Amino acid sequence: MSEERRLAVLRAIVQDYVQTSEPVGSKALLERHQLGVSAATVRNDMAALEEEGLIAAPHTSAGRVPTDLGYRVFVDKLSTVKPMSPAERAAIAQFLEGAVDLDDVVDRTVRLLATLTRQVAVMQYPSLTRSSVRHVELVPVGAHRLMVVLIVNTGRVEQRVIESARDLLSPDGERLVAEIRTRLNADAAGRPLTEASAQLQSLPSRFDPADRDVVRAVVRALDDALVEEREERVVLAGTANLARFGTDFPLTIGPVLEALEEHVVLLKLLGTMGSDSDAVAVRIGHENPHQGLQATSVVSTGYGTGRDLVAGLGVLGPTRMDYPTTMASVRAVARYVSEILAS
């Protein structure tokens, strides 16, 4: 029973400190929370929590604040992630459903997450290793020009235009375009991007010699698009929100801002997704390997198409974070993004 009570005291300290940013004393705990015990018992529990390294006294203050370990225990003891209200879910769905393409989805997602959590939102573009070809379309845009359109399962669309000596609007040219389109999709559709690129290298040899120049040009155009898809990209929003938490960083927010400029660092933060789309990962303070981010917490999860996770998204802010609400927002937004990409 004493352990459960100490956890209740820890939970109350975390909640009060997140809300007020002021060290929390035993008197304030008794006034704000129905703990059902005496002041002496609360002081004893706080002493025990401090001995375990879960709370600490900043400077000479009579109050206590949670440590990184204290936040970790608090997060690990959350029995469930707080559900969002129907109105909140409807607002998320309406905002994201208006997106016109993948770039718009990503832009809307980070802006929405930054607004919901008042933190820095981060989203990774779908990863090469987790993306696949949905369809390849060929569209003649003149007698001697052909648009090659690559559509990826995550909704990204890449276009290239090639030149051809053949008359692509003639009956023979239309036949050739239709045959290339059919064979392209037979070889590439449903395959991961790297596998599709390798599979298409032998495609020209399966055509008549007179047709191979056009096929080679199409394959080169697709290969260029596939290579471009391999670039790992992240998008940020809400960096200005950090200014609201200036006192939460030991010296300055400078190291945090510098780390946010390094996309490799951000990719690593989002690159620890498991296979469970409902799982929300929380890295607190010194659990972040990058030194510049050791005064921050990162809440992240994966998003994808159906059961396949293709990338990560999340938020970054000070360790004094409303973890239940932030975790709920990140998970809810990821679910809606996954639904949009799968549709």
Does residue 199 sit in the same domain as residue 246? no
Specify whether 312 is located in the same domain as 275. yes
Residue 61 lies in a domain: yes
Rounded distance between C-alpha atoms, residue 114 and residue 326, angstroms: 10
Are 9 and 90 part of one and the same domain? no
> Which residue, of 170, 201, 229, is where some domain finishes?
229
pLDDT above 50 (res 1): no
Average confidence (pLDDT) over 31-35 = 81
Report pLDDT digits (tens) over 54-100.
999 887 667 889 999 999 999 998 866 677 788 888 888 888 887 87
- Based on the structure, what is the number of domains in the chain? 3
CATH number at residue 14: 1.10.10.10
Same domain, 336 and 241: yes
What would the two tokens of residue 252 be? 């300055």
Measured N-to-C along each axis, helices 68-76 and 323-342 cross at an angle, to the nearest 10 degrees, of 60
Judgement on whether residues 236 and 332 belong to the same structural domain of the protein: yes
Judgement on whether residues 250 and 265 belong to the same structural domain of the protein: yes
Question: Which tens digit of pLDDT belongs to each residue from 88-137?
Answer: 888 888 888 878 788 888 899 999 999 999 999 999 887 666 678 889 99
Tell me whether residue 55 is in a domain: yes
Residue 16 sits at φ, ψ, to 5 deg, of -70, -40
Give the residue from 200, 102, 204 showing the smallest Cα distance to 158.
102
Q: How many angstroms separate the CA atoms of 207 and 184, rounded?
A: 12
Q: Which of 306, 304, 308, 299 is closest to 330 using CA atoms?
A: 299
Rounded Cα gap, residues 213 and 150, in angstroms: 20
Whether residue 297 is found in the same domain as residue 265? yes
Same domain, 242 and 100: yes
Its pTM stands at: 0.76
- Are 210 and 285 found together in one domain? no
Range of the domain at 274: 86-126+232-342
Residue 295 and residue 224 share a domain = no
* Residue 80 resides in a domain: no
The answer to whether residues 240 and 332 belong to one domain is yes
Q: What is the CATH number of the domain that holds 224?
A: 3.30.390.60
Within a domain: residue 299? yes
